[in-house]
Amino acid sequence: MNLTTDLGGLRLRNPVIAASGTFGYGEDYIKAGDISWFGAVSIKGTTIAPRAGNPPPRTCETPSGLLNSIGLENPGAKVVIEEKLPWLAQFDVPIIANISAESCEEFSELAAMFARSPHVSALEVNVSCPNVKAGGIAFGTNPDMCYESTKAVRQVWQGPLIVKLTPNVADITSIAKAAVEAGADALSLINTLVGMAIDVNTMRPVLGNITGGLSGPAIKPVALRCVWEVSRAVQVPVIGMGGISSAQDALEFLMAGATAVAVGTGLLVDPEIPRRVTQGIREYCEARGIETLQEIVGAARR
């Protein structure tokens, strides 16, 4: 059975990707899990300057979900490009560089920096981070801003360009179309939903940053709906994510129209998930005589 898939020029051995922010730059993952089960890995959201991130507490468990307010803690693009990527490249898994910025100029500068690295297989433009004040999600809730930021990256980056969208909008297809018009080769969806929790004993918000991003199985229905809507509205491939922790979850996303899937929160609970998901997809297909992944992609829409 052929599990390869294509994301706007980026060919993957199998459709399971490590979601940005739940894999770091691989150094710690590699000690607990087997990186070769990934079709590609998306690194932690990286900015030009190093960021210390938000004050703790940064996570809070919710019913079937996780709130996080990491706040894009990262060592800055220079360190990532000079130290992290060359090390990560040794494992021969395509690297997707997830980038975040506060302006179009910054996006373009950041993309240009990564364009000079020989280790980046694709860029993932994060216009959907709910945990930073300036920039972040603002780019992803307005079609024009999404267009401009995508365009800024497109002009300096020739390789596969992925734009990562937020579900915190009334009509995700309009944002998706803007990204595609500006030159996106693929779309990642979804990033987290904005949420919060309150500690009734202290009467204070649980997270140091007050609000955070909701991920995990709780958001799967919303994510599936976004993939369903967007994959009908645009011609480019979609990477589906949000609550995937089993082959069955992944199959739902593929059938909804995703060309590949990413596992985020699932990796935090269980570093073995990519193997289980990949093997499970294979078993499902083989039991039904399905020979290529493409036969499943969008199957629920036919």
Ligand X SMILES: Cc1cc2nc3c(=O)[nH]c(=O)nc-3n(C[C@H](O)[C@H](O)[C@H](O)COP(=O)(O)O)c2cc1C
Where along the sequence are the contacts to ligand X (CB under 6 A)?
19-22, 44-45, 66, 68, 70, 72, 98, 126, 129, 164, 191-192, 215-216, 219, 241-244, 263-266
Least distance from its own copies to the Cβ atom of residue 217, Å: 4
Residue type, 10: L
The Cα 280–Cα 39 span in angstroms is 15
Residue 21 or 26: which CB sits closer to its own copies?
A: 21
Q: Which residues contact 18 (CB under 8 A, 6 or more apart)?
A: 29, 38, 40, 41, 42, 262, 263, 267, 274
Largest CA distance in the chain: 56
Contact at 8 Å (CB) between 102 and 148? Answer: no
Least distance from ligand X to the Cβ atom of residue 263, Å: 5
Q: Does 295 bind another protein (CB under 8 A)?
A: no
Residue 267 or 285: which CB sits closer to ligand X?
A: 267
Buried b (16+ CB within 10 A) or exposed e, 197-216: beeeeeeebbbebeebbbbb
Q: Which residues contact 107 (CB under 8 A, 6 or more apart)?
A: 99, 101, 125, 149, 152, 153
Residue 70 or 226: which CB sits closer to another protein?
A: 70
The Cα 232–Cα 151 span in angstroms is 23
Chosen from its own copies, another protein, ligand X, none, partner binding at 98 (C-beta under 5 to 8 Å by type): ligand X
Question: Using the rule CB under 8 A, which residue among 40, 66, 138, 224 binds another protein?
Answer: 66
Chosen from ligand X, its own copies, another protein, none, partner binding at 244 (C-beta under 5 to 8 Å by type): ligand X
Which active-site residues does the annotation give? 129
Q: Does 280 bind another protein (CB under 8 A)?
A: no
Least distance from another protein to the Cβ atom of residue 224, Å: 15
Question: Using the rule CB under 8 A, which residue among 5, 12, 14, 29 binds another protein?
Answer: 29
The footprint of its own copies (CB under 8 A) covers 62-65, 67, 141-142, 168-171, 193-198, 200, 203-205, 210-212, 214, 216-222, 224-225, 228, 243, 248, 251-252, 255-256, 284, 296, 299-300
Structure tokens at 111: 């993309």
Chosen from its own copies, another protein, ligand X, none, partner binding at 225 (C-beta under 5 to 8 Å by type): its own copies
Q: Which residues bind another protein (CB under 8 A)?
A: 21-24, 27-36, 44, 52-53, 55-61, 63-66, 68, 70, 73, 91, 208, 216-218, 245, 265, 267-272
